[in-house]
A and B are shown apart, each in its own frame.
Chain A
């Protein structure tokens, strides 16, 4: 388990991070395999975003070791598009290499927004802006996609559509992903494996064995859901 093989895109060992006297991460170990979608669950303030920023290389003050193989892209809860660049320019931001226009248009087509390439971010709805953020990540052809509650700010219907979109993109591109969410259903629908962050460590590492295609009303889903909610210390719903 400790040895890194070529099939792992990200390995973290003994990751620690504290803010002042508050220890947020206290020795996190995790491994993400190539093409594997891992959901990261945890209560609010448990350090999910902190961990994701460390994996993305955005935190210079964490200790421990993080090794990432291949390219990484990040999608945040907010779209974080540059308001002064049109959609296509936002997607192309920092992308090097030839046939840029074609690649950008292809990425926008994949998220269904080819016709909005010349729009300003301010002209998009929340769901559209988040789809552009996905296109901006996809155009980099990442081996690892880091997602921090990417649908957390969207309304329930848009969120369902985005979950479908995510499944489709994943099937096409085969990227690995660390998917931070507080939504147990979302984790069970999309992930191959679920991690629960608690007390600054990975308290639970649980493969999701539900058959594809998954649905919240498929047999076995409810039971798995109850287990995860129990791990998150959410009392079972009154019945």
Chain B
């Protein structure tokens, strides 16, 4: 102990550790990208099987200028938004009903829990018979994918609210409706956000599957058509576009979360 005290204590100046770490995160993807590019140029990879990133970017630029990329992108986004809205709102409504009202719980929850066991992507053949291969198929698939996570997380979000807070709100003179507004909704919001995140993921996946089924427009159609003409660069471009859309939706969600759930990271937000 005394030996330690003999030495002067070195106090390191504070350094922005976090921002340095951020940069480190980008290293691995960049190295992989460079290796991919180098692999194609060096002849290690067959450009017909996997075109170089630069080729994919060039193709993307060309299709964007032609306007086709934007058109297909818009098709896909429209289907996703419509499906998420329909499935999400339905999940929200039924989840709220089952979470708040005992009768709703009895009537809705067991059925939904059973239906959840059905892999909804396996419904494609049946859905084709029911609604055909057009827009309704894609939108229905996305809606189905989005419904379950939103329903489940709305339900559990409401159920897991601290009963003591509801009781305290009652002693403050809040009516039932006011308690829903001031306690139940904000209390269930974190869980709902989780549901939306899962719904986005399930929705994208459903869209990808739905767009592989014959039809017109959308990124999936673009990819399937490109495959027939062996335009591997367009196929990869489609994948990249899907990934970027997923990334963008996640970003938007995070933004919303930061605003609406500020109280959770209160210490940092102020």
Q: Which residues of A contact B (CB under 8 A)?
A: 56, 58, 72-74, 76, 78, 80, 82-86, 93-96, 119-123, 136, 140
Contact = CB atoms under 8 A, between A and B. Distances in A.
A122 B171 contact: no
Chain A to chain B: the 7 pairs with minimum beta-carbon distance, closest first: A120-B266, A94-B172, A80-B168, A84-B186, A94-B173, A74-B171, A84-B263
A166 to B, nearest CB: 18
A206 to B, nearest CB: 28
20 contacts: A74-B168, A76-B168, A82-B168, A82-B169, A82-B186, A84-B186, A84-B261, A85-B182, A85-B186, A93-B174, A94-B172, A94-B174, A95-B172, A95-B173, A120-B267, A120-B270, A122-B263, A122-B264, A140-B172, A140-B173
Nearest to B189: A84
A107 to B, nearest CB: 13
Interface of A is mostly: loop
Contact of A78 (B164, B178, B261, B270): B164
B180 to A, nearest CB: 13
Interface residues of B, number: 22
Interface string B71-93: 00000000000000000000000
Nearest to B262: A120
Q: Which of A58, A94, A140 has the most CB of B within 10 A?
A: A94
B183 interface: yes
Q: Which of A72, A74, A120, A136 has the most CB of B within 10 A?
A: A120
B255 interface: no
B263 A136 contact: no
A119 B263 CA distance: 9
